[in-house]
Amino acid sequence: MNMDIPIAMTMADGGGTRAVLRLQSWLSPAFPIGAYSYSHGIEAAIESTLVHDAVTLEDWIGGLLQFGTGRNDAILLSEAWRLASERDATGLSDLAEIALALIPTSELRLEATAQGGAFRKTVSAAWPEIGLFELPPAPSLPVAYGALIAAAGIPLDLAGPLFLQAFVHNVVSAAVRAVPLGQTDGQRVIAALESVVDRVWRESRGCGVDDIGTAALMAEWSSLQHEAMDGRLFRS
């Protein structure tokens, strides 16, 4: 399967239209994986005033994309897509274990596995024709997403950037509620980060599992702090 099918080509045929419709559903806030209940630690960053307006929010999410979860999830997603495309069940199972081992805090593990498990379960129920390969019941979300888009025959370069953009949307949505931040400012942050999403995705395409790492230490610190916060709005 060609991993570099141009988006324009996928949009031009009926199969491409079906792929876009499915991605719209799977990455929608209405898709029942509970994404709205997680903040990826930004609630604690807001509590400590590290994030307090649109400028600091853009900087925070940009750092996550380039030096933390965003880049790592892009690599895991691509590897899951490749292994599922090759029908390598053993490799996919090993990747799922590696992905869980790399998650630095208990709340981020909950965020990744609860959403990944719900994604797997919901796609299986609503689209039973899509094979699930050898995914565990609660894989991390990027692994579940990567494997299932491959099983659905959706090109990686169509689905991958949209996954990163959905991550941006989720964190912005949490900040809009917790800062509080106006809806328009939230959309300005999303627009400003489009180029970062594109760059991170393109740079990740030449990477493998050995290239995974993080320098987003304050995000991990915020996740640890969030575990002890009183009166939390979010689960992470």
Predicted pLDDT of residue 87: 92
Share of residues in the chain with pLDDT > 90 (%)? 86
pLDDT at 171: 98
Residue 30 lies in a domain: no
In a domain, 15, yes or no: no
What separation in angstroms does the CA of 80 have from each of 36, 52, 92?
24, 36, 6
d(CA 197, CA 61): 10
6 in a structural domain: no
- Please report the pLDDT score of residue 15 as a whole number: 52
The low-confidence residues of the chain, meaning pLDDT below 50, are: 1-14
Give the per-residue pLDDT at 133: 62
Residues 66-80 have pLDDT tens digits of 999 999 999 999 999
Domain encompassing residue 157: 35-226
Q: According to the model, what pLDDT value does residue 226 have? A: 96
The structure's pTM equals 0.92
Residue 94 lies in a domain: yes
69, part of any domain: yes
pLDDT for position 231: 86
> What is the pLDDT, as a whole number, of residue 16?
85
Q: Judge whether 4 lies within some domain.
A: no
Which CATH number do you get for residue 111?
1.10.4190.10
Tell whether 19 is covered by a domain.
Answer: no
pLDDT at 164: 98
Say if 76 falls within a structural domain.
yes
Based on the structure, what is the number of domains in the chain?
1
